Each structure stands twice: as C-alpha cells, then as structure tokens.
Amino acid sequence: MTVIFQTAVAILPVFLFLGVLTLLDTYKLIKFRTILVIIASGCVAAILAWLLNIFFLNNTHIHPIIYASYAAPFIEELLKAICPIFLLKKKRVGFMVDAAIAGFAVGAGFAFIENLYYLKFSPDANLFLWIIRGFGTAVMHGGTTSIFCIVSKYLAESRKHERIYLFLPGWLCAVIMHAIFNRFFLPPLIMTLGQLVFFPTLIILIFGQSEKKLRGWLDVGMDSDINLLEYIKSGTIKETKIGIYLQTIREKFPPEIVFDMLCYIRINIELALRAKGILIARESGLEIVVDQETRDKIAELKFLEKSIGKTGQFAIAPMLHTSTQDLWQLFLIEKR
C-alpha cells in the first residue's frame, strides 16, 4: 500500500491538473487523442533527455548538482519544445488556451517517465520526496513548457509568422524557471507551494483572456466574412477595395487564373464561416458533424491552391484572413 500511495503521489498530480485544464476549456479545441499523442511526445523527450544527460555526465567533469542546475534545463526544455514547435508551425494551435494545454501535456508526459525512473531506482525514498516530485517537479515540467507555448503563441500572433527565432524567448523563459526550481533557493516545500500557486494562477488568467479574445474574433471575423461573401455572390465586389485590387493584378495573370483566385477567396470565406459556426455551436454544447459538401469544398480549395500556384497565393494574400487563428480554423473543420 505504501508503494501504491507513493506512486500515486509522484504521478497523479500533474495528470489531474492537466485534466482540470481541459475541463476549463469551453470549446474543447484539442481532442483527447491529440492530447494523448502530445503526452507521448513528452515521454519520448524524457527518454532522450535521460540518454543525453547520462552521456554528458559521463564525458564531462561537471559536478552532477551543477549540471542539474545549469545544463540539464537547457537540454530538457529544448527536447520538450520540439512537439509544441511543430504544432505551432503547422497551425494546429489556434489560441493561447490550446497552447497552454499542449505545453502542459508535454510536461506531463516528461514528468511521468522521469518519476517512474526515480520510483524504480529510489524505492526507499520517503514520502516527502514524492510529494516534492509529484506536486513540485512534475508540475514544474508542465508549467515551464506551458509558459514556452504561451509566449511563443503570443509572439507568433503579434508577428503573424512562426519563424524559428520567435521560439527563443519562450524557451529561455522555460529554461530560467526550470533552473530556478532545480537550484532550490528556498526550502523545497516552499518552492513547491509557490509554484502550485504561480502556475495555476497564470494559466487560469491566460484561459480567461484567451476565451475573451476568441469570442471577439468570432464576432468581428464573422461579420466581415459575411459582408465579403455577399459582395462576391451579388457581383458587386468590383466596387470594393478587394475588387479594385483584383483589377490591378488582372494584367499580371491569365483570365482563368484570376477566376480561380476569386473562387479560392469565396471558398476560403465559406469554410471560415463554417469553422466559426462549429465553435459557436460547441460553446452551446452542440456537436456539428462536417458534411460531405464541406469536405468537397476543402478538396476544391486544395485543388485551387495548386492551380493558382505560390505566386498567385502571394498576390491574393492581402485579401484573405491569414492570422494564425484564421489558418487554424481550416484545420479545425478538415480534421472533424
């Protein structure tokens, strides 16, 4: 019974907190199976970190305590960041709340493997150690990766791109917080209690701001999309700024490509409205199944992308919503 209790204290807290985060997410934008995949990536990161840490400790003369305080955080936070970077660059994360959940899921997987290792090789450790590891170290791993994802998501939204250097500030924040925890400048119990207050409070504040922003984006984005779609269908788009812009690029592309551009814009808007409708329904507790007509439009959009080409897509980019949320919404309906 003692072993079972110690195992529960070492492993369960971080997963319970992850479960609370997913319950707090009104829109449930990250599916359960996706969270499991992200947790698995954290497990892989922990195994790679263990191998690299053993390699460096065996091939350098750095004292283990110094290494754990100053070197290990760089390696571990870099490995934990790989999966979130992929998700952000592929537009699989729409809002900061999703980034926070994804980051914590990676940290949960990492902490799970790390604490299993300590449980195996330190079976006689007292309960106090497992409290520190379960409520302290494990939550720290989830919290630091969440901070990395939140900072990176914020910078990506501000700059409207995900170039690799934008991930550096978030990574450095995660490394610094990790190193501070490993140094134990305060007694371990105080450090653990402090982060149990800091990380949940920060993430809950992020949740509130993210959902407020999401509602605002739905309202404003839907109005502009509806107006533009009406202009296209009524044939009055020539009188708008977009119509004037299309006239300027007409001379640079063949007529059939210009026609495909207009079709691309129309379908893009229709799919954007469909995605926003899914989110609004989900907020009300309804689950909408994507019909075949919508899937056909997605296939047509991909065909038009090839027809227009990279140059054509670049030419019409100013007429489309290309923020990370708007690109993500297409992924949302494609995967349903």
pTM of full prediction above 0.85:
no
Is 25 inside any structural domain? yes
Let me know: does 33 contact 215? Beta carbons within 8 Å. Answer: no
Q: Please provide the distance, in angstroms rounded to a whole number, between the alpha carbons at the two ends of the chain.
A: 44
Whether residue 245 is found in the same domain as residue 317: yes
Is 226 inside any structural domain? no
Among 180, 212, 244, give the residue marking a domain's end.
212
Whether residue 131 is found in the same domain as residue 73: yes
Give the closest residue to 86 by CA, choosing from 47, 44, 55, 52. 44
Whether residue 37 is found in the same domain as residue 185: yes
Is 308 inside any structural domain? yes
Whether residue 240 is found in the same domain as residue 200: no
Q: According to the model, what pLDDT value does residue 224 have?
A: 67
Whether residue 241 is found in the same domain as residue 207: no
Please say whether the dihedral angle defined by the alpha carbons of residues 203, 206, 208 and 214, taken in this order, is positive or negative: negative
Is 162 inside any structural domain? yes
The count of structural domains within the chain is 2
DSSP conformational letter for 321? -
Among 146, 178, 212, give the residue marking a domain's end.
212
Let me know: does 202 contact 108? Beta carbons within 8 Å. Answer: no
Give the closest residue to 304 by CA, choosing from 271, 328, 273. 271
Return per-residue pLDDT of the chain as tens, 336 residues: 566 777 788 788 889 888 888 877 766 677 888 899 999 999 999 999 999 999 999 998 888 889 988 899 999 999 999 999 999 888 788 778 888 899 999 999 999 999 888 888 776 677 777 778 888 888 899 999 999 999 998 888 777 777 889 999 999 999 999 998 888 777 777 888 887 788 778 877 877 777 677 666 665 556 667 777 777 777 776 767 667 777 777 767 888 888 888 888 888 888 877 777 777 776 666 776 777 787 788 888 888 888 888 777 777 776 665 555 555 555 555 555
Task: Please tell me whether residue 290 adopts helix, strand or coil conformation.
Answer: coil
- Count of other CB atoms within 10 angstroms of residue 259: 12
Domain that holds residue 43: 2-212
Is 217 inside any structural domain? no
Is 169 inside any structural domain? yes
Q: According to the model, what pLDDT value does residue 283 have?
A: 66
Length of the chain equals 336
Strand intervals (E) in the chain: none
Please say whether the dihedral angle defined by the alpha carbons of residues 176, 179, 183 and 188, taken in this order, is positive or negative: positive
Whether residue 32 is found in the same domain as residue 179: yes
Q: What is the spatial distance between Cα 201 and Cα 280, in angstroms, rounded to a whole number?
A: 27
DSSP conformational letter for 167? G
Let me know: does 320 contact 265? Beta carbons within 8 Å. Answer: yes
Is 220 inside any structural domain? no
Whether residue 12 is found in the same domain as residue 133: yes
What is the rounded radius of gyration, in angstroms, for the C-alpha atoms of the chain? 24
Whether residue 16 is found in the same domain as residue 82: yes
Whether residue 119 is found in the same domain as residue 245: no
Whether residue 207 is found in the same domain as residue 244: no
Q: What is the spatial distance between Cα 261 and Cα 21, in angstroms, rounded to a whole number?
A: 41
Among 212, 245, 272, give the residue marking a domain's end.
212
Give the closest residue to 14 by CA, choosing from 170, 267, 196. 196
Angle between helices 168-183 and 72-89 (to 10 degrees): 150
- Residue owning tokens 């047509």: 300
With a CB cutoff of 8 Å and minimum separation 6, the contacts of 16 are: none
Whether residue 207 is found in the same domain as residue 306: no
Half-sphere exposure of 19 (CA within 13 A, CB side): 5
Q: According to the model, what pLDDT value does residue 121 have?
A: 75
- Compute, in degrees rounded to 10, the torsion defined by CA atoms 160, 162, 166, 169: 100
Task: Please tell me whether residue 294 adopts helix, strand or coil conformation.
Answer: helix
Q: What is the spatial distance between Cα 200 and Cα 135, in angstroms, rounded to a whole number?
A: 12
Whether residue 257 is found in the same domain as residue 190: no
Q: What is the spatial distance between Cα 326 and Cα 269, in angstroms, rounded to a whole number?
A: 10
Is 175 inside any structural domain? yes
